[in-house]
Structure 1
Amino acid sequence: MLRVIIVEDEKPVLDLMERLVGRHPMLEVAGAFTSPLAALERYPQLKPDAVFLDVEMPKMGGIELADKLRAINEELQVVFTTAYPGYAVDAFRVSAVDYLLKPVTPDALERVVVRLSKNHSLRSAQRRLPGLGEGTAVHCLGTFETRGANGNLINWPTRKTEELFAYLIAYPNRLAGKWQLADLLWTEMEEERALHNVHNTVYRLKKALKEAGLTVDLTHGNEGYLMRIPPSFTDLESFRDFMKRTPAIDERNVAEGDKLFRSCRGALFGGKDYVWSTGLVAEVSSKQAALARMLVSYYRGIADDAAAKETMLTYLSDSPLDEEINAELLRLYAESGEAGSFRSHYEQYAKRLAAELGVEPAESIRGLAARLSI
């Protein structure tokens, strides 16, 4: 749930915006103001996550107000509302998330909420990273970064040190053979020299982790190395642990599942081209899709169509060609009578399929579009 305030100098428009925003399941209206000066005064007490600002207002325009609010909190998400698209350039000068053309429609608001939620989830995930005592130390999904106890990113001494760490946390709590590591990381090198590099790189890895204040149980024996980590040490292990013990989403685990869905997004290791990780990247991507489908199934089951749509749109922002999720979203638009949203999404999906794969949407989706005369 995102706390928002709305600033609009015309009272009838403000009332409409307050009702529209207040009905959205992901938003909570913390305050609504016709005066930008009053909004600025109350802002420190209300502490919103996002603001909807009218661009043209007397005494202080929306862009000026946005500058002042972001000076207080640089992470504040700003959305402008305007009757004039030409203001978009000025809007993005103050790092606005988006702008809405008046009259604001539920579909347009839905598009913006997806972006607000995505940004909020990413920032929340980043705030959980600083150290073992406060949360996840290693972020593997959508990026690859490790933070020490002081919250600073670890500066690895070599790329191979980072890659060795990536392999050990990708396959934790099990022995990694020293010859196996030599072959994986130094494929073209003579065996004895490669093995020497393994020993040196493990030493560098231990030293870097110790200097960063991260206590990691990394042991070695005659056959190889073993890194023991709890599930909370990396977002990857937290995600794996949840998926392993969760056959379906229900009221008992939906909050945890939704939290992981939003924080554990994107390609494993941020798309780094580790040759050994290809199969693992596909496996994790498949599990991310499975979690999205479980959440959608749960929300559909309790008739929370708004949450189902938001979940699918969030997932498709990372995996836009997923046929099953696209088909389910289009079916939901059709069932809800949202012809405009159906048409817009179908056209974008069809164009992307044609451009990237040279194919059309599945016959069932084209049939649905034909029935709606798209």
Structure 2
Amino acid sequence: MLRVMIVEDEKPILDLMEILVGRHPLLELAGTFTDPLEALVKFRELKPDAVFLDVEMPKMGGIELAGRLSSQDEELQVVFTTAYPGYAVEAFRVNAVDYLLKPVMPDSLERVVSRLMKNHMLRSSLRPPAVGDPPPVRCLGTYETRGKGGKLVSWQTRKTEELFAYLLVYPNRLAGKWQLADLLWPELDEDRALHNLHNTVYRLKKALKEAGIAVDLTHTNEGYHFPGASELSDLEWLRDFLSRTPAIDDRNVAEGEKLFRYCRGVLFGGKDYIWSSGLAAEVSAQQASLARMLAAYYRGAGDDQAAKETLLTYLGFAPLDEEITAELLRLYAELGEFGSFQNHYEQYAKRISSELGVGPAEDIRALAERTLGSIL
């Protein structure tokens, strides 16, 4: 959920925007102002994620105010509101995310919120966890390896990078040399493929050593053994936590929340490795499991808002997940948030039709009929 501050000198327009923002399930109103100077003073205290600024205001225009606010928070997302489309060009010169034409309508606000959320989630996924050191290898949402000092490892060949990816997701087992050769070089004859494998293993060991990453990659006559460790990659970090955690409680919620915020996004950032497609679905299921565990904990603690944010965060990178979508819709229905229910259901139905050419599952359609029918 994004905290939003609105600065608009015309009170009727400010009141309308306050209503629209207040009704949106992904926005939280941090503060509203008709005076830009007052907004500037209160900004540090309110700590909004995004600001909606009127372009033309007395005392200080929106574009000047945006520059002064952004100097205090480089990650602040700015959206301008204006009655004149010609201001759009000037608005983007100060790195505005988007602009809204007055009078602001729900459809145009939805477009802007979608953009704000994508930017927010991208920045959050790239930001290290607040507690503890992140593993040197990231496999979820991206694929990168960092050595001492956080320096990004530059692989000599793409096959070296792919071999490391394979060993990372299948640790603590013997990876047969013929299997690896055929997996990485299926178009080559056996001798040539095996020669390439030997060279690639050498490059991998050399790159990891130079990066200061201690990995004991050993080999036998049959293949190679790669030890797994939760401190090496975010994927192992996630797997380790789930293997020892049947449920989230007060003792592990901080670790679970940190993992959930950090370990998100598709495996290897969607890199097209032939052998990883099935594994990507398995990893997504593990991420969904963690999301459900956290949502269940927050609901039990009476924090329905945190439960909603958790499910929405997961759906931000896996929007077609049927089970999590159904869980979120059930939560909206239980809380009587019918506007949020309808908005999310319609967006989900539209997306699944556009991307998969199908409609929502029968249980989701039935839930929508029961819920939306009750408010007609």
Residues 54 and 124 of structure 1: CA distance in aligned 2, closer, same or farther (over 3 Å):
closer
Cross-structure match for 2:157: 158
TM-score, with normalisation over the residues of structure 1? 0.79
* Percent sequence identity over aligned pairs: 66
Deviation for aligned residue 1:141: 0.7
Counterparts in 2 of 1:166-315, with a 5 A limit? 166-315=165-314
- d(CA) in 2 for partners of 1:4 and 1:212? 42
Kept in 1, the 8 Å contact 2:125–2:264? The answer is no
RMSD between aligned alpha carbons?
4.0
- d(CA) in 2 for partners of 1:143 and 1:271? 8
1:50 pairs with 2:49: yes
Name the count of aligned residue pairs: 364
| Residues 204-236 of structure 1, C-alpha deviations (whole Å, 9 max, x = no match) | 112222333333332333332233353122111
Deviation for aligned residue 1:306: 1.5
- d(CA) in 2 for partners of 1:203 and 1:76? 45
Residues 215 and 39 of structure 1: CA distance in aligned 2, closer, same or farther (over 3 Å):
farther
Deviation for aligned residue 1:287: 0.9
Letter in 2 for 1:251: D
- Mark the runs of 5 or more structure 2 residues left unpaired by the alignment: none
Kept in 2, the 8 Å contact 1:118–1:262? The answer is no
| Residues 228-284 of structure 1, C-alpha deviations (whole Å, 9 max, x = no match) | 353122111111111111112222222222222222122111111212222211210
| Residues 153-184 of structure 1, C-alpha deviations (whole Å, 9 max, x = no match) | 22211110110111111122333222222121
- d(CA) in 2 for partners of 1:251 and 1:113? 33
Letter in 1 for 2:147: G
Counterparts in 2 of 1:54-65, with a 5 A limit? 54-55=53-54, 56-65=56-65
| Residues 9-63 of structure 1, C-alpha deviations (whole Å, 9 max, x = no match) | 579969x96xx98xx999796x8876545655786x7694634243243222233
- d(CA) in 1 for partners of 2:268 and 2:291? 20
Cross-structure match for 1:331: 330
Which deviates more, 324-333 or 45-54? 45-54
Residues 155 and 163 of structure 1: CA distance in aligned 2, closer, same or farther (over 3 Å):
same
Kept in 1, the 8 Å contact 2:217–2:227? The answer is yes
1:137 pairs with 2:150: no
- d(CA) in 1 for partners of 2:73 and 2:124? 15
Secondary structure of 1:176's counterpart equals strand
Residues 111 and 177 of structure 1: CA distance in aligned 2, closer, same or farther (over 3 Å):
same
Cross-structure match for 1:67: 67
- d(CA) in 2 for partners of 1:335 and 1:103? 33
- d(CA) in 1 for partners of 2:4 and 2:347? 30
Secondary structure of 2:68's counterpart equals helix
Kept in 2, the 8 Å contact 1:150–1:212? The answer is no
Residues 363 and 278 of structure 1: CA distance in aligned 2, closer, same or farther (over 3 Å):
closer
| Residues 119-166 of structure 1, C-alpha deviations (whole Å, 9 max, x = no match) | 55643553439xxx9432111111111122232322211110110111
Letter in 1 for 2:66: A
- d(CA) in 2 for partners of 1:203 and 1:346? 52
- d(CA) in 1 for partners of 2:221 and 2:6? 65
Deviation for aligned residue 1:97: 4.9
- d(CA) in 2 for partners of 1:278 and 1:261? 22
Secondary structure of 2:254's counterpart equals helix
Secondary structure of 1:316's counterpart equals helix
Letter in 2 for 1:221: T
Deviation for aligned residue 1:72: 5.2
Kept in 2, the 8 Å contact 1:266–1:318? The answer is yes
